[in-house]
Amino acid sequence: MELAESGAKVSDLKTSRNLAKKLSETQMFQDYEKAFSEASGMPLAIRPIQSFQMAMQGKVKQNKFCAIMAKTSKSCVACLEIQSELEDKAQLEPKSLSCFAGLCDTMVPIRVGDQVIAFLQTGQVLLDNPTDKHFDRMTQKLVKWGMDADLKRIEEAYFQSKVLTKEQYEGFVRMLSTFAQHLSLIGNSIAVSETKVEPQTVTKARRYVEDHFDEPITLTEAAKAVNTSVRYFCKVFKNYTGITFVDYLTRLRVEKSKDLLLNPNRRVSEAAFEVGFESLTQFNRSFKKHTGMTPTEFRSQGV
């Protein structure tokens, strides 16, 4: 990574995606995401560039109709095509597009130096009240695509979609534009700081956690695994990552649990214990703290 006068220079796709991930893990973004979703009724995500994932999947306030569509191949491809088109158009400023169902999505660029490294993505809302006529046209397309889901369930989800006026929606997009500027400053700071080589203590600790996150891990055990004292280990880890080792371990376990929760045949308690939490209460509290919703609420957003 090189440094330019305007700030950090992002040299490759891997670096930009790493920056996007780190931004999404900051307390600032998590707090803003929660406040924005509560105020707007819309999901919010940081989408890495050239991503082929559904950025809103499992997010607070995810549109239930969109969650169903994400599970079907044809409609999923249609959504990803819209998002790819949005990414191309939103290199300089926020851009919005509507999908085949009439739901509006928006991307706001996050820049580090002179390069776009990610986007703030929101939407999944209607800018006009849904009508039976529009729904009928849409279902004809779904049937043509071979959609075999319960149309009654799809209809209920579709008509529950959030509806905003154009003026309201544009106001929320302006808010995101300002927030994207703040994230750009943070991203630049992260990029500059990462020109420093990560201490071997931190590298070894990350590897140790990845290999043993589903087991009971104490600070003493972690410090011993990287051949340092507990005091030194805690200081180095927090100075470099910005969070404590315990918080890092908890966040990793929460992230690992998300895929398990999306399996409807797996109980919440099973997911909790499988990723290393010692009690269901601890799991519920940690999941709520780091995602803004309970495990059960997260599961309902993804089905």
* Each residue's pLDDT tens digit, 99-150: 989 999 999 999 887 789 999 999 999 999 999 998 998 888 888 877 766 8
Annotate 50-93 with DSSP letters as a single string.
T--S-TTTT-TT--HHHHHHTTSHHHHHHHHHHHHHHHHHTSSS
Residue 106: predicted pLDDT = 96
Residues 188 and 256 in one domain: no
Same domain, 144 and 208: no
Amino acid at 77: V
Could you tell me if 246 and 132 lie in one domain? no
Rg value, the chain, Cα = 21
- The answer for residues whose C-beta is within 8 angstroms of residue 75's C-beta and 6 or more apart is 69, 100, 142, 145, 147
Q: Which of 10, 19, 45, 50 is nearest to 30 (CA)?
A: 45
The answer on 20 and 120 residing in a single domain is yes
3-state secondary structure (DSSP) of residue 103: coil
Interatomic CA distance for residues 118 and 50, integer angstroms: 9
Task: Choose the final residue of a domain: 160, 193, 226.
Answer: 193
For the entire predicted model, the pTM comes to 0.64
Q: Quick one: DSSP state of residue 121?
A: E
pLDDT at 195: 59
Q: How far apart are CA 235 and CA 129, in angstroms?
A: 55
How many residues are given for the chain?
303
In tens digits, the chain (303 residues) has pLDDT values of 333 333 445 557 888 888 999 999 898 899 999 999 999 999 999 999 888 777 788 888 999 998 888 777 666 677 878 888 988 998 989 999 999 899 999 999 998 877 899 999 999 999 999 999 989 988 888 888 777 668 888 999 999 999 999 999 999 999 999 999 999 888 887 876 665 677 889 999 999 999 999 999 999 999 999 999 999 999 999 888 878 999 999 999 998 998 899 888 889 999 999 999 999 999 999 998 888 889 998 888 754
Both 17 and 124 in one domain: the answer is yes
pLDDT attached to residue 303: 43
Domain carrying residue 107: 2-193
The rounded distance, in Å, linking the Cα atoms of 205 and 212 is: 10
Q: Which residue reads 């009724």 in tokens?
A: 41
126 plus 68 within the same structural domain? yes
